Copies of this chain bind each other. A is one copy, B any other.
Amino acid sequence: MRKDQFILPEGVTYLDGNSLGPLPKAAEARVAEMMRSEWGEMLITGWNKAGWMAQPAALGDRIGRLIGAPEGSVVLGDTLSVKVYQALASALELVPERKVVLSDTGNFPTDLYMAEGLIRSLGQGHALKTVAPDEVAEAIDETVAVLLITEVDYRTGRKHDMAALTARAHEVGAVVVWDLAHSAGAFEVDVTAVSAEFAVGCTYKYLNGGPGAPAFIYVRPDLADRVHPALSGWLGHDAPFAFEPSYRAGQGISRMRVGTPPVIQMAALEAALDIWDGVDMAELRARSIALTERFIAGVEALCPGVTLASPRDPESRGSQVSFRFEEGYAVMQALIARGVIGDFRAPDIMRFGFAPLYNDEADVDRAVEIMADILETRAWDRPEFKTKAAVT
């Protein structure tokens, strides 16, 4: 759909945009311009003149469009882990009489870790309860304070029914925090339609903001002025530059800002978000399904011994496909050596992300063909493909 707007190295089929999106061509120029003409020339005055200070809200609005959030309800900053902490802390305060944070074993670990840390700090007898992903719906009962769920499972691509789980949570009086790490930019999301209280996500996967791009947080507008930020930093203050001695939460979503925003990262992200202007999310989703269906069909036809780990029903998948294979780590290294980049998650999962902005049928076919060859020739069975790197 927009392949010409990305730098994609010669000979590489990139199927890991679910982990780190590729470099948008415009991001290079935008960052260089920010460095030279803003930081270099404006120096400190860039905070006003170049609009750095306003950018977390401005870029938040652009992400808002992709997740069904109205203007002024999304703000950028920090990392997703920190945004999970903020959202969960605020969510728990809305339901002070309940003590259960319900999540699932398919959640990305940092969400669970941050919840553990928060619960420990609060010391109010909260408990983190995790159930299998397909048991979440029935586990939502009147003990649950907050449902903390990542919509798409980072290993399998299994996609939760956000509308149904949110409705169920609301039925019993629980509050929801949706982690959209693998949703934003992957398919249509509508936090408003489901009336989610909180949503968080990252911008370096399908949104292509670059390694370490800032996270985002959404708070439902009717709640935004009621929640009290646990991380009450100066940029979430109602008047940051008045330097008052005590914290007063800012208006609406601005109170979810904490410290100085990462201006260079924001420049790259801004260029990445330009690519999304005019993208029809329904069309993107249709393209994504066409690609993942084609990949599954190809692998199942030509790669004996690998097992689909993702849901077969495309409506129950995000924009990635995972296959299990005992020697999956080595197969993935062999794939990468031949220019097909996916990634691996222990114990045996090979992940392939499909981003219709820059992936097409030729990528799918090449990946299938090379994987088939690697399996047939056992090209993966070499010591150098079995040595695990620090980051898998």
Chain A residues within CB distance 8 Å of chain B = 7, 9, 12, 14, 16, 19-20, 22-23, 27-28, 31-32, 35-36, 39-41, 43-48, 52-54, 78-82, 85, 89, 105, 108-110, 112-114, 116-118, 120-124, 130, 202, 204, 210-215, 228-235, 237, 241-247, 258-266, 268, 336, 341, 343, 345-346, 389-392
A47 contact set on B, CB distance < 8 A: 211, 390-391
A245:B211 contact, CB within 8 angstroms: no
Least Cβ–Cβ distance between A108 and chain B, in angstroms: 8
A28:B23 contact, CB within 8 angstroms: no
- Which chain B residue has the least Cβ–Cβ distance from A228? B120
A40:B22 contact, CB within 8 angstroms: yes
With A27-B35, A39-B23, A40-B22: A211-B260 Cβ-Cβ less than 8 Å: yes
Can you list 22 A-B contacts with CB-CB less than 8 angstroms, sorted by A residue number?
A28-B32, A31-B32, A48-B390, A52-B211, A78-B79, A79-B260, A81-B231, A81-B259, A82-B259, A89-B121, A112-B246, A113-B233, A117-B230, A117-B231, A122-B122, A211-B260, A211-B264, A212-B261, A213-B262, A214-B262, A242-B346, A264-B265
Q: Please, how many angstroms separate the alpha-carbon atoms of A389 and B235 in the complex?
A: 15
Q: Please, how many angstroms separate the alpha-carbon atoms of A259 and B213 in the complex?
A: 11
B341:A212 contact, CB within 8 angstroms: no
- Which chain B residue has the least Cβ–Cβ distance from A41? B9
Least Cβ–Cβ distance between A61 and chain B, in angstroms: 17
A343 contact set on B, CB distance < 8 A: 44
- Which chain B residue has the least Cβ–Cβ distance from A344? B241
A245:B130 contact, CB within 8 angstroms: yes
Q: Please, how many angstroms separate the alpha-carbon atoms of A228 and B234 in the complex?
A: 25
Least Cβ–Cβ distance between A245 and chain B, in angstroms: 6
A44:B16 contact, CB within 8 angstroms: yes
Q: Please, how many angstroms separate the alpha-carbon atoms of A46 and B23 in the complex?
A: 12
Least Cβ–Cβ distance between A265 and chain B, in angstroms: 5
Q: Please, how many angstroms separate the alpha-carbon atoms of A389 and B16 in the complex?
A: 43
B45:A231 contact, CB within 8 angstroms: no
A266 contact set on B, CB distance < 8 A: 212
A204:B260 contact, CB within 8 angstroms: yes
